[in-house]
Amino acid sequence: MQKTKINKILKKKNRSPIVCLTAYTRNIAKITDKYCDIILVGDSLGMVLYGMKSTRNVTIETMIVHAKAVKEATKKSLVVFDMPYKTYTNKFSAYKNAKKVIKLTKCDAVKLEGGKKIEKIVSFLVKKGIPVLGHVGLLPQTSKNFKARGKSNAERKKILKDAIAISNSGAFAIIIECVVEKLAKEITQNIMIPTIGIGASRYCDGQILVTEDLTGLSDFSPKFVKQYANLNKSIEKCIKNYTKDVKMKRFPFIKNVYK
């Protein structure tokens, strides 16, 4: 089943756009599973759900709890576990942690951030039978500032080399984050596996966003996010109306009471 899902992703290269979103909970997973090719249980949950300032303090134990809930709620999507900061410092720790993750959560693949520095780690995991989703460009786990990458010639060459290295290492796809349009297009044209963009233009083979960003549940609204709803306002309205009903003793209603 795992290989079948990954083969479907690979076949979409230059053919059909790949739809990806994040999910950290059962309810969101059940909805996204109806529409997405890939669901990422991202370490961005640290900021989105727990109010952390970065993803660096997210533990593998926390990720496992959320990933189990997401995987159990999905039927068709490829579910990817985002390996937390410093859980893949070398190929042996990477394999130990990735093996544990797959066993406990039943996720279909893991995601690692980095380029040439981790190519041997990616290759090792793939040879051990663990599918890997790569991630180049802006790397949230190690980046000190949030800005577009690939504007300088030196940075463009580095990111391109990183993407090629991860592709050659056996990853089934690569997320490209916050890079200039021209570079995203160049990477997509120069590697054999699908590219999935987040702030990396329409030239990628697919797109991914944090679900809470596009639904208006988070306060994060960078240029590359299109907000399709404002659920924060909708939820606040519901709670405001509930509060009013309780204070006016209009809730519970007759239909809400057991007789």
Catalytically active residues are 177
Which residue, 1, 13, 17, is CA-closest to 171? 13
User: 3-class DSSP state for residue 237?
Assistant: helix
DSSP for 164-210, written as a single string? HHHHHTT-SEEEEESB-HHHHHHHHHH-SS-EEEESS-TTSSEEEE-
- Are the beta carbons of 133 and 111 closer than 8 angstroms? yes
Q: How far apart are CA 178 and CA 180, in angstroms?
A: 7
Cα–Cα distances in Å, from 6 out to 2, 47, 77, 78, 109? Answer: 6, 29, 10, 7, 9
For 68, phi then psi, to 5°, come to -60, -45
Cα–Cα distances in Å, from 179 out to 62, 120, 160? Answer: 29, 24, 11
